[in-house]
Structure 1
Amino acid sequence: MDQKSLDALKLHQDHQGKLSIESVVPLKSKSDLALAYTPGVAAPCIEINADPEKVYQYTMKGRLVAIVTDGSAVLGLGNIGAKAAIPVMEGKAALLKTFANVDGFPICLDTQDSDEIIDAVVKIAPVFGAIMLEDIAAPKCVYIERKLQEKLDIPVCHDDQHGTAMVVGAAMINAARFLIKPLNTQRVVISGTGAAGSAICRLLKALGVKTINAFNKQGIMTKKKYDDYDFVLKELLDEGIVDSIDNYTADSLATLMKNADAFIGVSAPNIVTVDMVRSMNSDAIVFAMANPTPEIMPDLAIHGKAAVVGTGRSDFPNQINNVLVFPGLYKGALEARLKVISMDTKINVSKALASLIADEDLRSDYILPDIFDKRVTPTIVQAVVTGK
């Protein structure tokens, strides 16, 4: 075990996790107790019973997010279950609090049955102002999100899908702006069509990308393989989000990347070579986001003549990480009392995040603001609340 892992274990052990629950009101006297608990607590109960909307006024609902997982697709660790997923969900809650002053609570469910997850979340939803789904395997994550949004009057968002997609959207907007290569002229290749990949396809198409081709474990996405696909992939083809390629010489990623303008990887390590990047069009964009080892290391992508390169890692320029988005997204959704996070909201967030870098500041190694840039959260909150 390396030193960084040992340090992480010590941090978690010393603090017994990363979260605590503290009262925001004083409880130092009998009069304090009489207001915060019995008999005073009856007053807000009566008000909420008479007008359920007042739950936002008198309780923590308006600032509390449920962070829900079944542990079936955690980071690069895979299906590690509910208990082993707790540290990641605590981390998400810590990020919400640190970057947006929003309270989050980990809900790690000891079931991987989609309908049981839906039923459990519906039953606990009254105390929460929003639901963040996290680290749930595809394609069931899409089914769970859709069903919960149908049943609940608060926003439900699978962060692995949409948080990632919104940051990729901002990165593509700025890469296109830097290279003077409009999105509506580009052919983008996406490797990996799971939770993140499918959402990236949808958002990029909504942002105006001309052509999207995709590659997954079954090879090049094409209507010829339609019957082999799950419902998520079938929808991408049916709706024209992913453009089917029916004639190809070899069913390979290398074939797909030839003469592409951009490559976006949310798939597997070391599957892209220098020659594959070199076969792309000039001024190529390469976002290799597999973690911890990307599809191609940045130095190799640059050696292959990529003009703009990004990864999911913090130790390379242009980190594409959903922490740039989700704190502000949820703070804005709670402030605006959104019932759903729509495609328009996602587009607005991507554009707002991209706008933080002025034309004169754009560089090949600076297309996204830093995670600790204090402008990020308020800018995203404003985009969510105002719809601009």
Structure 2
Amino acid sequence: MTTAKKALALHRRLKGKITIESKIRNLKQGDIKLIYTPGVAFVCEAIYKKPSEKYNLTSKGNNVAIVTDGTRILGLGNIGPYAALPVMEGKAVLYKEFGNVNAFPICLNTTDKDQITCTIKAIEPAFGAINLEDIESPKALEISAELEKTLSIPVFHDDRHGTAVVALAALFNSLKLVRKPLSSRIVLAGAGSAGYGICKLLRFAGCRNLIVVDSEGAIYKGRTRRMNKYKKEIAEITNPKRQKGTLENIIKNADVFIGVSGIKGLLLPKMVQSMNRDPIIFALTNPDPEIDPKVAKKSGARIIATGSYMYENKINNALVFPYLMRVILDRRIRKITLALLHAAAKAVASTVPSTQLAYNHIMPEIGNRQIQNNISRALRKFK
């Protein structure tokens, strides 16, 4: 049976992957008057008098809203909120399984930026954090920026923050294996939410020889075609020589390729062959990467990783978001900063001991509980 048939059969049998359960087992008659009327009125009154009690008397502090409008689902594009629901349910399962976080899929039947923003603000009382997911760029970045200014809870944008952390962690370990520095020449394909997030974090980490490429070619200071405020920000901190050209031109003599383009087959064998010795290829577009790993290997790539669970060397957000969110909620961290993401990336990378690092093993497996321990230790100083 193919993966497609197995996935459809599983979902048809389960009729959805998540449920809500009570923490109170074997509910008795006497419990009802405590959890509902009249007892619950005293709890409501306590929160009204002292709002901070909401974290002690309700599940708010462990609830996360996974919000999408269905406009950029995996590599499938704008398929709408109904078709987005299986992805959000899957994410909720991973949140619960690996972070013990209660995550709720909020699939909105609107693509209007202001309506989405207002809706999230309106549902904030029930949640300890917001996870923006699979919303088209630059709209997602604009929504995130507005929410960060107004909400009292953290706004985690997994396409941006989660992807950046896992990509940097993989880069740390890959460069260690091929004995190359962070100053190596890096080409990043994709300037949407994920590309923007990776670019910002790599620059914070010390990557100075970085060029971002979009559908128009290299982004550089002074480019006018198909630019927005976020691409202008990218132009200010990358491509110091203002190189121009297509991906095929720019990737020559590069050490690292990171793909978050959303385009299957974007990276051609001849492009890999034009890179420097021991090239590192992160083809992270899902479900189909920028280049097939077998093709990349035949073309001379030393390290190949994708975001898919079909291949070895998985660089997937699932290695980050459940564990990172656990710490964010526990410490009631208000703002997701580059310093916090950098510390998380180092923690994830360190989960694979140097003695176990290999070209086909640069990242830990998702179920490795040491990830949580390492991230928790790394973020102790953040508030």
TM-score, with length taken from structure 1 = 0.94
Specify the alignment match of 1:255 in structure 2.
249
- Within 1, Cα distance between the matches of 2:365 and 2:25? 37
State how 1:322-333 maps to structure 2 within 5 Å. 322-333=317-328
- Preserved CA contact (<8 Å) 1:348 1:387: no
- Preserved CA contact (<8 Å) 1:226 1:234: no
- Preserved CA contact (<8 Å) 1:335 1:385: no
Q: Which amino acid aligns with 1:197?
A: G
- Preserved CA contact (<8 Å) 2:70 2:81: yes
Specify the alignment match of 1:316 in structure 2.
311
- Preserved CA contact (<8 Å) 1:219 1:253: yes
Deviations 1:43-74 (A, max 9, x none): 21111111111100000001100010111111
State how 1:1-388 maps to structure 2 within 5 Å. 3-26=2-25, 28-183=27-182, 185-226=183-224, 228-238=226-236, 240=237, 242-243=238-239, 246-248=242-244, 251-267=245-261, 268-387=263-382
- Offset of residue 219 of structure 1: 1.5
- Offset of residue 377 of structure 1: 2.7
Larger mean Cα displacement after TM superposition, 9-18 or 122-131? 9-18
Question: Relative to 1, partners in 2 of residues 1:177 and 1:254: Cα closer, same or farther, differing over 3 Å?
Answer: same
- Within 2, Cα distance between the matches of 1:6 and 1:277? 34
- Within 2, Cα distance between the matches of 1:166 and 1:345? 10
Q: Which amino acid aligns with 2:254?
A: A
Q: Which amino acid aligns with 1:121?
A: I
Deviations 1:260-294 (A, max 9, x none): 11111111111222221121111221111122222
Q: Which amino acid aligns with 1:195?
A: S
- Within 2, Cα distance between the matches of 1:257 and 1:322? 25
- Within 1, Cα distance between the matches of 2:166 and 2:134? 17
- Preserved CA contact (<8 Å) 2:195 2:260: yes
- Within 1, Cα distance between the matches of 2:223 and 2:214? 12
Q: Which amino acid aligns with 1:281?
A: N
Q: Does the residue aligned with 1:39 lie in a helix, a strand or coil?
A: coil
What RMSD in Å do the two structures reach over aligned CA positions? 1.6
Larger mean Cα displacement after TM superposition, 278-287 or 51-60? 278-287
- Offset of residue 178 of structure 1: 1.5
- Offset of residue 224 of structure 1: 4.0
**What are the ranges of 5 or more consecutive residues in structure 2 without an aligned counterpart?**
none
Q: Does the residue aligned with 1:104 lie in a helix, a strand or coil?
A: strand
Q: Does the residue aligned with 1:67 lie in a helix, a strand or coil?
A: strand
Question: Relative to 1, partners in 2 of residues 1:313 and 1:46: Cα closer, same or farther, differing over 3 Å?
Answer: same
Question: Relative to 1, partners in 2 of residues 1:360 and 1:387: Cα closer, same or farther, differing over 3 Å?
Answer: farther
**What are the ranges of 5 or more consecutive residues in structure 1 without an aligned counterpart?**
none
Aligned residues: 382
Q: Which amino acid aligns with 1:255?
A: N
Q: Does the residue aligned with 2:160 lie in a helix, a strand or coil?
A: helix
- Offset of residue 171 of structure 1: 0.3
Q: Which amino acid aligns with 2:194?
A: A
- Within 2, Cα distance between the matches of 1:138 and 1:9? 29
- Within 2, Cα distance between the matches of 1:330 and 1:132? 9
Deviations 1:172-200 (A, max 9, x none): 011111122110x2110011111111111
- Within 1, Cα distance between the matches of 2:347 and 2:301? 26
- Offset of residue 305 of structure 1: 2.1
Where in structure 1 do 4 or more consecutive aligned residues deviate above 4 Å?
A: none
- Within 1, Cα distance between the matches of 2:341 and 2:298? 34
